[in-house]
Amino acid sequence: MARARCVTLNILRKNGVNNVAQALWAGGLNLDLILAYAGT
């Protein structure tokens, strides 16, 4: 689980996300947001 969390945070950082909690919440509500990130 720790590795998956680390990969997720690195992808979010690579895409310039400032608020990780908000990005995770929005991604949980809309799968298209997650798929739009570069590096996935």
User: How many CB atoms within 10 Å of residue 12?
Assistant: 19
- Whether 11 contacts 39, CB under 8 Å: yes
**pLDDT for 38:** 86
**pLDDT for 39:** 76
- Cα distance between residue 26 and residue 21, in whole Å: 9
pTM to 2 decimal places: 0.71
| Structure confidence by residue, pLDDT tens digits, 4-40 | 999 989 999 999 999 999 999 998 999 898 888 887 5
